[in-house]
Structure 1
Amino acid sequence: MAHYQFEGSQYILTIDSPEIAKATKPGQFVHITVSDALAMRRPISIMSVDTENGTFDLLYKVVGEGTRQLAERKIGEVLSVIGPIGNSFEMTDKKRPLLIGGGVGMPPMIAIAQDIKDSDYQPFVILGSEAPFPFDEKLADNNKHYASATHTMPLLEDWGVECRLASLQDYQGVYQGYVTDLAKVYLDSLSVDELAQVEVYSCGPHPMLEAVAKLAKEYDLPCQVSLEEYMACAVGGCAGCVVEVQTDVGPAMKRVCVDGPIFDATAVF
């Protein structure tokens, strides 16, 4: 296990578990015991996997007592982890996936990028954060400018995946505004044929997902979203994470943990 701290009380935790690393699909999460003192586990999205070494990475932010205690875990400690849990993003025949992640909703987008980096898909990733990004952003090699966005995530650059960053903060090389505003800049740069090949995938805070769903509707693009909800059991037993979704036969209550966390945006917003 490795544990790295970044500005803004953000951490990347690497866990050794060959079974989870091998079984994980983009968009899934784990339910992790943060300490012996707290019985309630915490759900955290899987950011990336290393199947060769049998490890996976989690990105989380300290927002309460549970994540505060998780941040105190040391290298070599044994953690109780259940996973992978939930459904996963479904890649379609649309070859230009637009991946939009905000805050701790960035990991599922990175997971998709890793999964398709060696395929014929041409993903474009937009990552947004109001805290400093949990990586050393760098100038993109391809030198394309999308408004003021010139910097990228080094890991995605190494994978050959195009990425740009957005924030309301004034960070160098980062688009100053909402992720959806930067997404519009990208979408407007595409030809009609290229736009027809776009499908949107997103994870982040609820208001951001609502804005992404509205953007997808405006451009007539299919859109899948990953919902973030508080969970107790994470295996569908307690129904503590239910949300209302629209189905062919009317409204229905779905459990984010096992029916999701991935839903079609039109069913939720």
Structure 2
Amino acid sequence: MTHTDKSHRGTIFVEDAEVIAQDAFEASQFILKLKAPKCAAAAKPGAFVHLSCDESLPMRRPLSIMRVDAGRGTIEVLYKIVGPGLQLLSGKKAGDRISALGPIGNGFVPHRERPRTLLVGGGVGIPPMVFLTEALRERDDADWKPLVLMGSEVPFPFRARPSTILVPGMPEGAIACMPMLDEWGVPSRLASLAGYAGCYDGYVTDLAAAWLSSLDQTALDEVGMFACGPTPMLKAAAAVARRFGIPCQVSLEEFMACAVGGCAGCGVKVTTPDGPAMKRVCVDGPVFDAQAVFAA
């Protein structure tokens, strides 16, 4: 592992962010909106922000960025309470100040020759998929056709409804969507084993495989897959991509201490052209080629 890569210097900012709003959802999920102009101006899909949850807790928490409004200088993150740090963060109110370090990490890189972007998010891995979708909508360098699939075993942090957008190849009965994406004109579908109405009854990666199996080779050659979620889900996503012969980028979720590459506590083994190597999820990732992380 090398510690000499300083390419991220000058691109990560520390700022005193202001809480604009914090909305609570079922299953201890929250969407936090912050005024963080420097982070908002530089953030790319797949990046995250390292937040100080409370003055009483020295360790920050890494949270994926879900939406950015560079003009207003705001960012939004979705998180689920896990441990005392995020419990403290959930108590922040509008007007409170939070130290924000970001944006951090290398993000997703869609390729124009594969405009059929298949975005797969599981649980708190949903936010980067929303960010990537919004970024693709703003690009005019290709005829981007994003399809967003989301999976959760707890209630989704939005009120799902039947989609108004037809998606050929979707399993019968899989009609639930994220309303905001539907309003953007972007098709989305939901998967869960919890029996929620309109959701595909199974894992979100199985839903992805079902849709991919409906495509001919010409269409498959235009598909690029992007995924974020728990490690078992990402491993399954890599297997699906391998099965259908499509490229896949995954955003890894790892515990982090410094989040700027100094502590090397988030190292993962990655296959490179020169052989196995240890990479830091925070600054070398969090996005990696799926097959480099999850070899067959």
- Counterparts of 1:1-80 in structure 2, within 5 Å, are 1-80=20-99
Q: Per-residue displacement from partner, 1:16-74 (whole Å, max 9, x unpaired)?
A: 11221121100000000000000000000000111232211100000101110100111
TM-score normalised by L of structure 2:
0.89
Cα shift readout 1:208-248 (whole Å, capped 9, x = no counterpart): 00000000000011010000000000000000100011111
Which of 186, 197, 202 is 2:227 aligned to?
Answer: 202
Q: What's 1:212 paired with?
A: 237
Residue from 161, 165, 174 that aligns with 1:142: 165
User: Shift of the alpha carbon at 1:3?
Assistant: 0.1
Q: How many residues align?
A: 269
Change (3 A) 1:143 1:97: closer
Instruction: Give the superposed CA RMSD.
Output: 1.0
Task: Please state if 1:187 is matched with 2:212.
Answer: yes
- The runs of at least 4 aligned residues of structure 1 exceeding 3 Å deviation read none
Deviation at 1:192, TM superposition (A): 2.4
Which residue of 79, 84, 90 corresponds with 2:109? 90
Q: Aligned to 2:208, what secondary structure does the other structure show?
A: helix
CA shift at 1:87, angstroms? 0.4
Structure 2, unpaired ranges of 5+? 1-19
1:157 and 2:171 correspond? no
CA contact (8 A) 2:225 2:246 kept: yes
AA partner of residue 86 (structure 2): T
Mapped pair 1:224 → 2:249: yes
SS of match in other structure, 1:230 = coil
Greater shift in the superposed pair: 5-14 or 52-61: 52-61
Secondary structure of 1:39's counterpart equals: strand
Cα-to-partner distance string for 1:53-101 (whole Å, 9 max, x where unaligned): 2211100000101110100111110100000000010111211010000
Question: Per-residue deviation at 1:143?
Answer: 4.1
Secondary structure, counterpart of 2:53 in structure 1: coil
Are 2:128 and 1:117 aligned? no
Tell me the residue number matched to 2:126.
Answer: 106
The whole-number CA distance in structure 1 between the counterparts of 2:205 and 2:269 is 24
Deviation of 1:144 (Å): 4.1
Is 1:250 aligned with 2:275?
yes
Aligned partners of 1:180, 1:85: CA distance in 2, in Å?
Answer: 27
Structure 1: which 5+ residue stretches go unaligned?
none
Q: Which amino acid in the other structure matches residue 134 of structure 2?
A: Q
| Cα distance in 2 for residues equivalent to 1:30 and 1:108 | 12
The alpha carbon displacement at 1:189 in A equals 2.3
The equivalent position to 2:151 in structure 1, one of 128, 140, 152, is 128
